[in-house]
Amino acid sequence: MFVIIGIVVVFGAVMAGYLMEKGSVRVLVQPAELVIIGGAAIGTVLIANSLYILKAIVDGITGAFGGSKFGKDKYLETMKMMYELFSRARKEGLIALETDSDAPDKSPVFSKYPKFLKDHHALHFVCDTLRMAAALVGTFLGILLCYGLIGPLAANMSKGADEEHAYYYVLRVTMAALMRGTPPTVAVEFGRRAIPGNVRPTFQDTEKHIENKGDAGAGGGEAPPAETAAA
């Protein structure tokens, strides 16, 4: 929504200022210039990137018009899932996680989180880690499109990539803590502290989320506060 509002503001302000200076809108309607600028830009992108990158660009542009998928709720669900996974490993041993990583769709933990199962990149990241442990007018239009549309979209896509990177970093910190023998509750707390501040849930929110929804898969109902004290 904010991307669309921003585009409207950019073009609205530019056109308003142009008309205030007695500019003619018809002068800006130059189909040939648009073909030259747009065609050259698209062709350059096709030449410089592989099919995989082109698909990522399309996905990034599409995602720029939607909200961020890495919000507080996603992190809470992820921390709960990791807690249940680590509690299973603590109770049955790390070797038990091989069945989760080899067939995540049949895993008693992963199967409870269909959204995570659909995120193939994050799923593979976790499973692989577990396996290891287990012209003038033309110039005007070009500058307007570059700085008023393409540049901001690229910046938005970059922010999306940074958010995804932060999410994977939290997963890595959490799993690394487990590999060092840290109790599940403490490992999840390490992960929570690594979550970006603008979406980081409080300790109380995380603990409450785990207690309310994670007891069935937490391996024997071990109480997080007592486990933290034992650590």
CA distance 118 to 120: 6
pLDDT of res. 144 = 66
The mean pLDDT of 187-195, rounded to a whole number, is: 91
Asked whether the predicted pLDDT for residue 215 surpasses 60, the reply is: no
pLDDT of res. 229 = 37
The burial of 18, by beta-carbon neighbours within 10 Å (0-12 exposed, 13-18 middle, 19 or more buried), is given as middle
- Number of helices (H), then strands (E), in the chain: 13, 0
Sign, Cα dihedral of 178, 182, 183, 189? negative
Tokens 């690594």 sit at which residue?
A: 194
CA distance 226 to 203: 15
CA distance 101 to 126: 8
Q: Range with the lowest mean pLDDT among 2-6, 12-16, 63-67, 204-208?
A: 63-67
pTM > 0.95: yes or no: no
Asked whether the predicted pLDDT for residue 138 surpasses 60, the reply is: no
